Amino acid sequence: MELTRNLFLNRIIRAGAMTDSLEPLSNALVSTSSSSSWLPFCVGLATGAVVFGGMVLARHYIGIGWRMTKQDDDDTEHVNLNGSWREDNLLMLPSTPTHQELGHQDTLNTTAAITTQHSLLATPSHAVRPDHDGNLVGTPEQGTSLHQDNQSLLNLLFNIAEDQARKEGYIHRGISCNLCNASPVCGIRYKCASCVDYDICERCEPQDTHNRTHTFLKIRLPVPPLANPRSVLVKPFYSGTETSAKRLPWHDINRLKSTTYFDQNEVEALYDQYQALCTKRQGITRELYDQCLGPLGLEKNLVLDRLFKFYDINGDGYIDFEEFINGLSVLVKGSQEEKIAYAFEGYDLDGEGTLSRDNLRKMFKAYFYITIELVRDVVKACEEEMMANFDDTQGRPVSSLFSAPIPTDTGGAPNASGKVPFPGNPGSREDMWPVMEAMSQDAIEEMVENVFKMAKVELTERITLDQFKELAVIDSSLIAWFDALGTVF
């Protein structure tokens, strides 16, 4: 061994790497090794210390890696459903399905549902994870909250899948979708009530490619195939000529958002409604406005005229979209102060900026007739519903089964309409109108006098806007006509 060491040192010296500095050291070592036996002991001790330190460090790092692997194995469920899986940022993703797997839709849907379930359940119950430096970060509380959120999401997905599966159980045999040609239609069926034969499935319904003025019927229970109607069921509710949707320019949306109380979604929805109503390029005409009022639009009324004037700001006889949305903004989301100001303009029939007794009298009278018509429609609807549900066959005598002519000579004289009033009835409904009108005239005159008395205005003076604002705060019925018909549209 000593000879080998001497040869090794001599080769280094001959190589020229340490010619000047290592030659004395080599001679000293050679002389020392030859004269002393401590050198082998020191070399062995140093070698043992290096090996022992390396074993300690290796055991330390191997222990850390084993604990991290064990923690991941305990928290993550490795599932192999459709081939291999990979772990990327603690999310398990399935491998790409083969062509044969894509051919089986039911198997694929089931596999996807199980994949989602296992991916959510694979989230660890605590969020303690090592960072890039190997230090553990996170708290168990954060992981528990994350696990609860994933469990809630899993329950939601399960409920959605269950509801969809329940819908798919309803099969409309003999019905095919006019868009995707799916036959038969499963789930919810949408039938156009304004077309002879047009049906779409619930997947194609959100596409909204059909005529926008038509009305769809939502059919859940399948109709017998031979009993399906092949005719127009309902005429279109909307009179618009635009059959397809047109989007409002973005700069117009931003401008209307800043001038009204509506947000972007509401502005776009109102634009779709406006397109479905318009029959002319200029906007909504007075004729269409009267049609939107239903039976009330058949007769002329001052309140209806003033409401149209409220929408038609420029007075050109048309309600364009900007006037349409500005009017709805005031009626739907406007403040009480705004409504009071517009109600004052409605009362100002002369356009002088002040109100006279005759202005209030005319508006009160028009509002009275509007109220009577609204009440009459409600009462008529209630009467029709009661008569439809009334069963007069129970408890009737046997004589009711026999028919006989009813005597017409009851001693009463027919009225102007040719109808004989019932005994005890002073007259028909038309005969009662003069009495009601006389009562309304007295009530209207009293209301006008009370308003001017509260405003402390003389007989020949007129009410200003400031005075009207104070009166409207005290008596809100002064602006009742402004909200009587809602928004009309």
- With 90 as the cut, is the pLDDT of residue 264 above it? yes
- With 50 as the cut, is the pLDDT of residue 225 above it? yes
Asked if 274 and 239 count as a contact pair (C-beta separation under 8 A), the reply is no
Q: What are phi and psi of 299, to 5 degrees?
A: -120, 150
In this prediction, what percent of the chain has a pLDDT beyond 70?
Answer: 61
| Predicted local confidence at residue 375, as pLDDT | 84
- With 80 as the cut, is the pLDDT of residue 111 above it? no
Query: Range with the lowest mean pLDDT among 108-117, 192-201, 238-247?
Result: 108-117
Name the DSSP class of 137: E
Query: Range with the lowest mean pLDDT among 189-198, 345-354, 408-417?
Result: 408-417
When pLDDT is cut at 50, 70 and 90, the band that residue 69 belongs to is low
Angstrom distances, CA of residue 103 to CA of 85, 106, 397: 21, 9, 71
| Predicted local confidence at residue 167, as pLDDT | 80
| Predicted local confidence at residue 250, as pLDDT | 94
| Predicted local confidence at residue 441, as pLDDT | 82
User: What value does the mean pLDDT take over residues 434-463?
Assistant: 82
| Predicted local confidence at residue 104, as pLDDT | 42
Higher pLDDT, 366 or 65: 366
| Predicted local confidence at residue 284, as pLDDT | 95
When pLDDT is cut at 50, 70 and 90, the band that residue 212 belongs to is confident
Higher pLDDT, 61 or 330: 330
| Predicted local confidence at residue 266, as pLDDT | 96
- With 90 as the cut, is the pLDDT of residue 96 above it? no
Asked if 125 and 90 count as a contact pair (C-beta separation under 8 A), the reply is no
Question: Bridge-partner residues for 190, per DSSP?
Answer: 200, 218
DSSP 359-377: HHHHHHHHHHHHHHHHHHH
d(CA 81, CA 100): 15
Report the alpha-carbon angle 237-186-196, nearest 5: 35
When pLDDT is cut at 50, 70 and 90, the band that residue 164 belongs to is confident
User: What value does the mean pLDDT take over residues 223-250?
Assistant: 86
Q: Whats the size of the chain, residue-wise?
A: 489
What's the mean per-residue pLDDT of the chain? 75
Nearest partner of 188 among 166, 210, 211, judged by Cα: 166
When pLDDT is cut at 50, 70 and 90, the band that residue 35 belongs to is very low
**In 366-401, which positions are buried (b, 16+ CB within 10 angstroms) versus exposed (e)?**
bbbbbeeeeeeeeeeeeeeeeeeeeeeeeeeeeeee
Q: Which residues make Cβ contacts (< 8 Å) with residue 182, sequence separation at least 6? A: 176, 201, 203
